């Protein structure tokens, strides 16, 4: 408190009218009872409207949706009224009619009763805060075998490209136990491939997706983990040569599946070199096919032998090690051994090629540090 606010005229009148805070509180509670009685009348009208199937004829999908639309209520509040209108008349409905319990409590208790909770549980609900009743209901909600089967039958992983084909959006629907395994597995995988101490560690949600991608990658092209060059899925990309030159690479390239990739991914594709690129010229009729300028196996093996593991300072990951061109191929980087450094999948794919960090050329060859995107040299030591 302590701050003096300019009181509204109504609040000033309240202060003149009541002689104590107690009497103000009593009035507040009395008014809440009035709200309950008004709501109780609404619930009765809604029940009648529902009986006449008005929401159905109005073309709404549910009673809740109809109430939200007609009364301009939040879905949660509309849902409360719908639950009460559909409930058997009885002590709960009577108590809001009498104004002795709030609509919130009545709706929460009705939901709890709908789970088939025993009278003892319902008595327990009387003694807890309204916010806790939902938790009681979740604990007592029954799941019949056919409910469980229905949830399982609904399972799906839905992925769809956006309008510009520049990203894929997705969502999933699955049984709780499977979701728990999924999340636990993704979190474990993320901890295996991303050092928890790494300053560039992505957020939890990002790490889960990175883990999922890495698992999918392992399924398509198993990682070998040793110095033998891991096979990669040969990327076939299509580039409009004229547009690419005109926009400095920002026109991007199209993958076989029709998704668009930008200059960062192009740099990575050229860095790894395991690619078939088809340049399409001005009129799009002649396609020039180029096989990727892949790092020769001998040189690849030499970089594995020389660096021994990920050269990022403090990284111990050996997951999908990949020689990286310190100067991007698109900026004239060559296969000179001094211009190559071995990086794990997290540092190569995520930190460098997707987050846009570059390798500080001043950093020691086996303890590489990264420069933030757009920074060309490290700040002088303090």
Binding site for Zn ion (CB under 5 A): 271, 310, 312, 315, 317, 324, 344, 347
Determine whether 345 is exposed, middle or buried from the number of CB atoms within 10 Å of its CB (0-12, 13-18, 19+): buried
Rounded Cα distance, 172 and 267, in Å: 32
Rounded Cα distance, 313 and 198, in Å: 9
Residue closer to Zn ion, measured from CB, 187 or 198: 198
CB of 333 to Zn ion, least distance (A): 9
Rounded Cα distance, 121 and 139, in Å: 11
What does the DSSP 8-state code read for residue 251? T
CB of 235 to Zn ion, least distance (A): 14
CB of 156 to Zn ion, least distance (A): 35
Residue closer to Zn ion, measured from CB, 42 or 264: 264
Residue closer to Zn ion, measured from CB, 117 or 315: 315
CB of 223 to Zn ion, least distance (A): 14
Q: Find tokens 């949706």 and name the residue.
A: 65
CB of 299 to Zn ion, least distance (A): 14
Residue closer to Zn ion, measured from CB, 114 or 330: 330
Residue closer to Zn ion, measured from CB, 33 or 339: 339
Pairing of strands 253-255, 260-261: antiparallel
Residue partners of 126: CB distance under 8 A and separation at least 6: 109
Determine whether 359 is exposed, middle or buried from the number of CB atoms within 10 Å of its CB (0-12, 13-18, 19+): buried
Residue closer to Zn ion, measured from CB, 64 or 353: 353
CB of 189 to Zn ion, least distance (A): 15
Is there a contact between 104 and 80 (Cβ–Cβ < 8 Å)?
A: yes
């Amino acid at each position: 408190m302590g701050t003096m606010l300019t009181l509204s005229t109504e609040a000033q009148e309240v202060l003149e009218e009541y002689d104590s805070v107690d009497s103000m509180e009593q009035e507040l509670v009395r008014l809440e009872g009035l709200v309950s009685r008004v709501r109780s009348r609404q619930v009765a009208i809604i029940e009648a409207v529902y009986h006449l199937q008005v929401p159905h004829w109005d073309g709404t999908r549910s009673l809740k949706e109809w109430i939200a639309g007609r009364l301009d209520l939040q879905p949660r509040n509309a849902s409360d009224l719908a639950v009460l209108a559909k409930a058997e008349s009885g002590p709960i409905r009577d108590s809001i009619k009498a104004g002795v319990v709030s609509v919130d409590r009545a709706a929460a208790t009705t939901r709890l009763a709908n789970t088939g909770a025993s009278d003892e549980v319902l008595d327990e609900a009387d003694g807890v805060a309204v916010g806790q009743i939902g938790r009681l209901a979740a604990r007592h909600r029954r799941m019949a075998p056919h409910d469980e089967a229905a949830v399982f039958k609904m399972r799906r992983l839905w992925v769809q490209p956006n309008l510009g084909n520049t990203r894929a959006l997705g969502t999933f629907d699955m049984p709780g136990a499977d979701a728990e395994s999924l999340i636990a597995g993704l979190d474990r995988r993320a901890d295996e491939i991303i050092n928890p101490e790494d300053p560039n560690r992505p957020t939890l949600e990002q790490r889960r997706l990175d883990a999922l991608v890495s698992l999918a990658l392992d399924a398509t092209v198993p990682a070998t983990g040793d110095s033998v060059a891991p096979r990669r899925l040969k990327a076939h990309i299509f580039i409009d040569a004229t547009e690419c030159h005109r926009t400095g690479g920002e026109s991007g390239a199209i993958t076989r599946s029709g998704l668009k990739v930008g200059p960062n991914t192009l740099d990575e594709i050229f860095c790894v070199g395991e690619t078939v690129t088809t340049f399409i010229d001005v009129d799009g009729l002649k396609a020039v096919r180029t096989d990727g300028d892949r790092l020769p196996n001998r040189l690849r093996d030499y970089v594995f032998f020389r660096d021994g593991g990920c050269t990022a300072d403090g990284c111990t990951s050996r997951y999908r090690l990949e020689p990286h061109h310190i100067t991007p191929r698109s900026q004239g980087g060559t296969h000179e051994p001094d211009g190559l450094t071995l990086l794990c999948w997290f540092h190569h794919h995520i930190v460098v090629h997707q987050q846009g960090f570059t390798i500080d050329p001043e950093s020691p060859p086996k303890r590489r540090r990264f420069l933030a995107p757009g920074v060309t040299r490290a700040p002088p030591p303090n």
